[in-house]
Amino acid sequence: MHKQELDRLAIGLMVVLCAIWGLQQVAIKVANAGISPIWQAGLRSLGATAVITLWALLRGVRLFERDGTGWPGLAVGLMFAGEFALIFIGLEYTPASRGVIFLYTAPFFVALGARWFLPGERLRAAQWWGMSLAFLGVVLLFGEHLWQPSDEAWRGDLMILGGAVLWAATTLTIKASALARASAEKMLLYQLAISALLLPLLSLALGEPGVFAPTALVWANVAFQAVIVAGISYLAWFWLIRHYPATRLSSFSFLTPVMGVLMGGFILDEPLTAMVFTALFLVGTGIWIANRPMR
């Protein structure tokens, strides 16, 4: 059953997911010390594919029945792989703090695309203001580096912006195609399985060294990304997309970079300044405005 507003279950689950995705940023930083970025993303997709396939088989979910999801499934799989390839390669050219700002333009692309592909989910003026306020919080959090680019930062900026567009396009394709009627497991497996095939090939083509310092800590962080992030949390995310408005859910993604900074402070002892909590207030207020029910 599709709902028009976010209830307490959806809101609570989105907050938990944003915390997990914020913690993922820390896990990627730790794992980068021993595994190349795109190879790491490929391993994550491969491990998550195994986890979700086992879960689906245990629950008796039909994965191979003909239901019209083949072509849109292939499309979202290619977009999913392309999104992470652009993000990881883009971060070789631009600082992560700049990359975050460009990546989190994705909810705006979802909202714009909804005007044509999801007419029942068009945003009201107040919701646009709420999303803009949340985005302002992200810009304030990372904006000190926005005007200090390196010579080739624009290359990375464009790549990560392209990743944001693909992220939004994946969400819109799922909502506007037969995938909206498929199980969350099947929806996710299209993306994981295709990216598990393509990302390692891309890593080899780019000449990445792959695994160069295989410590227990590195493997633990890869396992966290495969099982918790790309497995359980993505499964929950696609279940939410199937049952709730994509535009409302996307507004919560602004919480993720703030959660990432908070997690970095608690786990990696990175500084937590007043600007972090100001950004959290703006993001929270913006999300509240964007998700207020219509009178």
Q: Quick: pLDDT tens for 60-108.
A: 888 888 888 889 999 999 999 999 888 878 877 777 667 777 888 888 8
Query: Span 40-56, mean pLDDT?
Result: 93
Specify the higher pLDDT residue, 129 or 293: 129
Burial of 18 (0-12, 13-18, 19+ CB in 10 A): buried
Burial of 116 (0-12, 13-18, 19+ CB in 10 A): exposed
- Tokens of residue 102, six digits: 């460009």
**Per-residue pLDDT tens over the stretch 205-243:** 989 999 988 899 999 999 999 999 999 999 999 899 888
From 146, 34, 133, 40, select the one nearest 84 (Cα to Cα).
Answer: 40
Q: Helix (H) and strand (E) counts for the chain?
A: 13, 0
User: Using 50, 70 and 90 to split pLDDT, how confident is the model at 148?
Assistant: low
CA atoms within 13 A on the CB side of 255: 21
